[in-house]
A and B are shown apart, each in its own frame.
Chain A
């Protein structure tokens, strides 16, 4: 794949992720819990992880966090660091599972990603937000990650099948 081509695809993926991520900040939250989102942008991260790999996935999700925060005016605020930590942890976990646990399908990977995203945010919050009882939210964030991960996983699978039929992309899926 030529460099230019790659750059174009990348830009498209980052734009798509940013659009989805920003869209979600505008929608009202499904649950009154900080950090719980459907995680539509995670669909893009998943696709990139499957189509390219860890490095590319990290780049796309970090650019997405950066752009969404710039759009929302939360750059370098507490909320930004929470999203950042969630994105890094979930991308690492998903990439690890894709590489080492081949028995998991994209749905399982998505679920693990959603849960680790929520946990990652909470871990960051425990450093950034000084309250002794931050883990008050833990069970809800754990449980909320399951259905949101399932939904984004199914959506990602649909898209992945579509892309797999196209020959202009390099496919690594097993």
Chain B
């Protein structure tokens, strides 16, 4: 490695770490209710309002490659089963904070928690 290589490595590492630090602040928070949006092939197919303590719930979503199973429990949501070869979406596990996202590229399914609609409380 040349000196310039090393500088590049350092630069990339620093940028990456800064992005990571920002990420921790931006994508980790807690809510009273989570608005989960599920898109398949570019269309919204499900919106769910999750509240703390809600029981386990499973949904079948039709993706490009076939049926995927999405599981929710309390405020969390995950891809339980997917027909894609890489299984990245399944390995990613639960998401529970606004803005967190699960993307299954081969099956063209996107699950994310909408930050605007997730409420901390309701007055009335």
Q: In their complex, do chains A and B touch, with some C-beta pair under 8 Å?
A: yes
**Which 10 pairs, one residue from A and one from B, show the smallest C-beta to C-beta distance?**
A108-B5, A32-B91, A139-B19, A103-B4, A143-B16, A139-B20, A142-B16, A133-B99, A79-B105, A136-B101
Q: Which of A121-167 contact B (CB under 8 A)?
A: 125, 129-134, 136-140, 142-143, 145-146, 150
Given A103-B2, A125-B105, A136-B100, 13 other A-B residues pairs in contact with their CB atoms under 8 A? A25-B85, A33-B92, A35-B105, A77-B108, A103-B3, A112-B12, A130-B42, A133-B27, A133-B101, A138-B19, A139-B22, A142-B15, A142-B19
Do the beta carbons of B101 and A146 come within 8 Å of each other?
A: no
Q: From residue B111, how far is it (CB to closest CB) to chain A in Å? A: 9
Instruction: Say whether A68 faces chain B, with CB atoms less than 8 Å apart.
Output: no
Instruction: Say whether B80 faces chain A, with CB atoms less than 8 Å apart.
Output: no
> Which residue of B has the minimal Cβ distance to A108?
B5
What residues of chain A lie closer than 8 Å to B13, measured between beta carbons? 143, 146
What residues of chain B lie closer than 8 Å to A32, measured between beta carbons? 88, 91-93
Question: Which residues of B pack against A, CB within 8 Å?
Answer: 1-5, 8-9, 12-13, 15-17, 19-20, 22-23, 27, 39, 42, 64, 85-89, 91-93, 99-101, 103-106, 108, 110, 112, 114-115
Proximity bits, A95-138, B CB within 8 Å = 1, else 0? 00000010111011001100100000000010001111110111
What residues of chain B lie closer than 8 Å to A103, measured between beta carbons? 2-4
Q: From residue A112, how far is it (CB to closest CB) to chain B in Å? A: 6
Do the beta carbons of B39 and A108 come within 8 Å of each other?
A: no
Q: Which of A36-76 contact B (CB under 8 A)?
A: 72, 74
Do the beta carbons of A34 and B12 come within 8 Å of each other?
A: no
Do the beta carbons of B108 and A78 come within 8 Å of each other?
A: yes
Partner of B105, one of A34, A112, A140, A142: A34
Of B5, B42, B64, chain A has the most CB atoms within 10 Å of the CB of B5
Bound form: Cα–Cα A136–B23 in Å: 7
